[in-house]
Structures are given as structure tokens and as C-alpha cells.
Amino acid sequence: LIMAYNLSPDKIILTHEEANIAEKNGNILHKIEFPFNNCIVQARSVRHDNKFEKKGLYPVVLEDLFNKRLELKACLAPLGKKRQHLGKIISSAKKRGKWIPESLNSEYSSIYFDYDYWDSKQKALKVYMNTFYGEAGNSKSPIFLHKLAGGTTLAGKYNLNLVAEFVTKKGFGIKYGDTDSLYLTCPDKYYEKCDEAFFRKDLSTEVYWTEMVNITMIVMKSLRDQVNAYLEIKNGTFYLKMAYKEVLFPICFAGKKKYFGISHEDVINFRPNDLFMREINTVKQGNSELFRFIKEKIMWEAMGINNICSIRKIIEDALWDARFKQADERKNSKQKKNIKIPDSGERFSYIVVNDGPRYKKDGSKSTRK
């Protein structure tokens, strides 16, 4: 957004007089206007018209960082495909009860490590790029510029609404959306053939799901290209693009900005090693082992191919199983310690130790308790 609208301190115009002069000099201005503290904040930014000499400091720096991030993501792409491919081979072998060679596990672990390495580097660049926007809205920052931060937020909302309107007119449903992304559902017409085959029992559940995910991938990639062409027409710049990331199926929305599911990027695999999660932390300081067991069990069962139970039923069963698990752990703990832990309300004997006075090495009485 900063690159698209040339939002930079050296390209922001704060007064109407300066804006009129800039327009008379042949510059195209982007209007910034938003409410704040019961007032209307106004400003303008000078559009760069896709010419380098007209770009501000922030867009030039961000474009350089963006290109470096693209190079890192180019290293990620083949590793990601290989990781997904090996993951599917391993999960399929486990399903059939076959032995998995150590060399295959070792190769998968190595690919996984390399992928995480490059992914962490590109994510670090992403965070750094986002600080230009974040610090512009931080009143304690030396580069604080309220109108720049507000203009960026305003442009983001405008374009996300543009995309939302565009896709809904084409029959796509918006399942979830936040500040910079949308999770869409395809119109039912795309699944009619596989639906009919499944209802005739010509397809198993897994084959049916695989076919639906494959159709979704093809349709969404086509929609992405249409959306990007639309954004270029509306904004007059190629900087704004919607990226296709993955298909999440099945998926569960647990709350605002909290969801989990099985992610399919290039390879369709319903038995991954890890679930895709957003803002759902099973490993967190303060969470007990039992709590993590309950959460993991609920999520994996909910995403299972053969699952026919509601989330509520899965939670009830998981809590029931956890009760027995806790009882078993308590029993094992008793056996290890060779002591009897009293039940709630049970009488027990105890000894009160009267801790007498303490003395120092020189024989004097200590004041420490």
C-alpha cells in the first residue's frame, strides 16, 4: 500500500495550498481523509505514476526489501513442494502400516529444517517492512506521522472492500476476512459433478475431499489473476496484488482470528504432521500437559476424514478421556512415590515440626527465620 500510493514523509502534503500548487505542476494526488478524535484528518500524497524519480523514500526502500524477500521466497518454493511431497509419502506409508526407511525420515527432517530457515529469513524481512507502517502510527517514534499511518489503513480498507465486492459478485462466499486477507468459498456449481459421484457412492470420502480441494485450487488461482487485473485497473499500479496461499480443508473457526485446519498448498495431504493454526497455542507457558493433550486430541479428531461427530461431541469425549488419563497419571505417580495421596475430604495424620531457634557458627542466635 505504501509503495502503491507513494505514502512517504517526503511525499505527504499537509495543506490545501501546497496541494493546489502540486496539482498545478501536473502531479496527481491521492486523497487521505479519515475521522480521528471527533475531527476529520485530511492530507494528500503525490502519486508516482510508476516513475522511479517520483517515488518517495519509503516506497524506494520498501521496494528494495520486497525484491530481496522475493528472492528468499524463490528459495522456499522448491523446498515447500518437496516437503509436502515427502510428507504425503510418509503419512501414506504410516496409514498402510509400512516401514519408513530412516533415510526418508532423515531427508524429510533436513528439508523441513532448510524450509524453516529460509522461511524465518523472509518473515523477518516482512516484519521489518511492516515497521514502516507501525512506526508511522507510533506517537513515541521519531518517524511518527499520523496522516501516513491513517492513509495506509484507509487504503487497505478501501482495497479489501473492493476485492470483497468483486468476488461476491462472482458468486464466491467470504468465510473470514481481516485487514489483509480473505478466506473464500467457491460457488457450489464447481462441485456439482463430484457431489453427484459421491452421493452415488462412486467416490470414497478421501477421494471426494481430494477432488474438491483440487477444484478449489484451480478456481482460486484463476480468481487471483482476475482480482489482480482488477486492482491494477482501479489503482493504476501493479504493486497491489492478492496472493493465493493455500486451501484450508477441513477447517474450524474457533473465534475471532482463531482457526485451525489442514493446509494444502501444492500437494493435497489429509494426514500432515502438523495442523495449520492461527492464534491457537497448544504449547504455551502455563498450559499443563493435560490441557495440551485435550486441545490436540480435539483438533486432530475434528479434522479427521472419518469424523462424523460435532465439535461439541468431540470436546465432551475428549474431556471424558482426559479424566481417565488424569486418573492413570495420578495412579502412576502414587506408585512411583510409594505413598498414598488422600482423597478430597479424607482424614489423614500429619506431624507438626516445631522449628526451634537457629544459631550461627560462632554460637550467637540467628535472626533468620
Residues 245 and 312 occupy one common structural domain: no
Residue pointed to by grid coordinates 495412579: 331
pLDDT of residue 121: 94
Residues 245 and 306 occupy one common structural domain: no
In a domain, 84, yes or no: no
Residues 327 and 285 occupy one common structural domain: yes
In a domain, 182, yes or no: yes
pLDDT of residue 223: 93
Task: Give the total number of structural domains in the chain.
Answer: 2
Residues 208 and 236 occupy one common structural domain: yes
| Residue segments in the chain with a per-residue pLDDT below the cut of 70 | 179-180, 281-291, 322-341, 344, 353-356, 358-363, 365-369
In a domain, 369, yes or no: no
In a domain, 91, yes or no: no
pLDDT of residue 99: 84
Residues 252 and 286 occupy one common structural domain: no
pLDDT of residue 333: 54
Rounded (5°) CA angle 276-280-284: 120
In a domain, 233, yes or no: yes
Domain that holds residue 207: 170-269
Residues 188 and 262 occupy one common structural domain: yes
Residue 294 burial (CB count, 10 A):
19
In a domain, 140, yes or no: no
Whole-angstrom distance, CA of residue 79 vs CA of residue 203: 32
Q: Is the four-CA dihedral 134, 136, 137, 141 of positive or negative sign? A: positive
Domain end position, chosen among 223, 248, 269: 269
